[in-house]
Amino acid sequence: MQQMLQDFFKAVRSHDITISAAESIEASRTAELIGFDDREILKLALSVTLAKSVDEKARFNDCFDEFFTFNSFQQDEESASSASPAKAPANESQPPGQSAEEQVASHYEGKSELVKMVMERNRVALANEMKRAARSVGVTDIWLFTQKGIYTQKILKEMGMQEINQEIAELANTTCPRGKAQAALLRQVRKLLLEEVRSFVEQQLSLYGSGTSKRLREEFLMNTRLSNIERRDFHRMHEIVRRLAKKLSDTHAKKRKQTQRGVLDFRKTMRRNVAYDGVMFETYWKTKNLERPRIVCICDVSGSVSAYARFLLLFLYSLNDVLMQIDSFAFSSHLVDVNDIFKEHPVEQAIELALKEAGGGSTDYGQMLRDLKQNRIENSDNLRNIDHRSTVIILGDARNNYGEPRLDVMKLIYQRAKRVIWLNPEPQISWNTGDSVIGKYRPFCHLVKEANTIKQLEGLVDNILKHSLAG
């Protein structure tokens, strides 16, 4: 029973639900408490212990149903004589000329236990044998469809297919009709077993492999250069980016707002109570005020970065979704405030709109900085201006079409803001080549980094948030 639960945990894990060791112990205890009699309650009980969100619960239920359809409990009990679901298809797939076959079967003279089992139609024993073989070759490790063949072969071998092959080979040269009939029968058996095991392995793959291949794909996407990602993966990227952004905000967002009530401030209490002749009636508490940092994020969507623009905007959108105090802009030349677009439209639409509003033109960083100065440094509404609490993030390649870089504004921003961070989607090797002026901006940034995979972006933003929120 324990082994089966272990297999089940493995299947659950492959469905993207993390189970820690402690949880698996907990789940085992739960299963023990509940017992295996009432499947419905067992399912609920395990779901309560293992799946820790609504999402996970849905996935868990699928996995449970799939797993226990062909691992029904009666099967493990020896007393069970009813046909198990796993072998039900075997029944159907048996050839129509069964009765003739059975006659021959009674004459089967070989020594293979396996053939005898098939002949006796002992399905429970066969299923158990198959499972035993599967376990010993570790079929639960399967995670790619290309492995189907090899696992099928391994299981068959473990079950004793070689003996059958050998007997077929021995019988091949015989001329006696009875020997031929035996050989035909064995071939039939072999085919049946092959089909049976193959379908079993397929089920195992869908059970243990589904999560893994998805994970692989995501892993791949996260580490691929943004410029190389295809449009059709956009949807999946959005999911990944949204999750990353959520994670980032979960770790950081809460820190922004709290005035913590601390411990007794003794010095202040004494001082305040001097008036009462040192009798301390009034208490004074140490408090900790955390400031609210702001992030100003500016995203280049011009022609030179068109390959990245979509994903940078996607990233920006996701950050907007989860961070409260973020001020987002997009630009090619003139700066466009995209806060409202992001707020009002769903992601696909918002990105299209932002691209339409800001994108396409030739890059002019000078104009962008001029606009930024006007909007966020000399704004009459002081609260919107960049100040010592602001972190400025610029996503762009700094290819300025040989225009005026307006370093004076950049310097001003550098002096005003808490941190200025430039994330460049170009590989570092092509920095400062052609019309790239990243080198000129560099002195006025606290950090200049190459960022062209989602993974890098995540790491950087995590870092940024940590710094900007810590102080």
Partner 1 sequence: MKELHDQRFTSVAEIEREFSNAGYICNREIATAIYIAFNLHKPILVEGPAGVGKTELAKTTASILDVPLIRLQCYEGLDESKALYEWKYGKQLLYTQLLKDKLNELLGTTHSLAEAMGKLRQQDDLFFSEEFLEPRPLFKALHEERGCVLLVDEIDKSDHEFEAFLLEVLSDFQVSIPEIGTIEARVKPIVFLTSNNNREMSDALKRRCLHLSIPYPEPELERRILESRVPGLSERLREHLVSFVHQVRALDLKKLPSISETIDWARVLVLMHAESLEPKLVQETLNTILKFQDDIEAVNEQLDALIADSEQPMAKTGG
Q: Does residue 40 interact with partner 1 by CB under 8 A?
A: yes
80 is an interface residue for partner 1 by CB under 8 A: no
Closest CA to 65 of 81, 46, 93: 46
29 binds partner 1 (CB under 8 A): yes
For residue 408, state whether it binds partner 1 (rule: CB under 8 A): no
Q: Smaller CB distance to partner 1: residue 162 or 287?
A: 287
- Segment near partner 1 (CB under 8 A); pick from 26-34, 96-104, 146-154, 236-244: 26-34
- 250 vs 340, which CB is nearer to partner 1? 250
Q: Contact with partner 1 (CB under 8 A): which of 1, 3, 6, 48? A: 48
Q: If binding is defined by CB under 8 A, does position 33 make contact with partner 1? A: yes
Write the binding mask 269 to 288 for partner 1: x where contact by CB under 8 A, - elsewhere: ----------xxx-x-----
291 binds partner 1 per the rule CB under 8 A: no
Give me the least distance between CB of 219 and partner 1, in Å please: 20
Report the C-alpha gap between 209 and 139 in whole angstroms. Answer: 10
Nearer of residues 48 and 80 to partner 1, judged by Cβ: 48
Cβ–Cβ < 8 Å for 291, 277: no
Token look-up 């005898």 returns: 116
Contact between 259 and partner 1 (CB under 8 A)?
yes
Please report the sign of the dihedral spanned by the C-alpha atoms of residue 250, residue 251, residue 257, residue 262: positive
Residue from the set 4, 10, 13, 26 that interacts with partner 1 by CB under 8 A: 26
Minimal distance, residue 259 CB to partner 1, in Å: 7
Query: Which of 47, 152, 367, 391: binder of partner 1 (CB under 8 A)?
Result: 47
**Position 37 contacts partner 1 (CB under 8 A):** no
Please state, in angstroms and as integers, the Cα–Cα distance from residue 34 to each residue in 13, 44, 61, 299, 310, following that order: 22, 10, 17, 56, 51
The region of 45-53, 118-126, 228-236, 343-351 touching partner 1 under the rule CB under 8 A is 45-53
By C-beta, is 232 or 261 nearer to partner 1?
261
Least distance from C-beta 250 to partner 1, angstroms?
5
Interface with partner 1 includes 429 (CB under 8 A)?
Answer: no
Q: Nearer to partner 1 by C-beta: 21 or 176? A: 21
Does 246 sit near partner 1 (CB under 8 A)? yes
Asked if 289 touches partner 1 (CB under 8 A), the answer is no
Residue 383 lies near partner 1 (rule: CB under 8 A): no
Please report whether residue 261 would count as binding partner 1 according to CB under 8 A: yes
Q: Does 184 bind partner 1 (CB under 8 A)?
A: no
Applying CB under 8 A, does 324 fall inside the site for partner 1?
A: no
Single out the residue of 259, 314, 319 nearest to residue 285, CA to CA: 259
Q: Is 290 in the site for partner 1 (CB under 8 A)?
A: no
Looking at 1, 3, 6, 18, which residue binds partner 1 (CB under 8 A)?
18
257 binds partner 1 (CB under 8 A): yes
Question: How many chain residues bind partner 1 (CB under 8 A)?
Answer: 37
- Residues binding partner 1 (CB under 8 A): 18, 20, 22-23, 26, 29-30, 33-34, 38, 40-41, 44-45, 47-49, 51-54, 57, 246, 250, 253-255, 257-261, 264, 279-281, 283
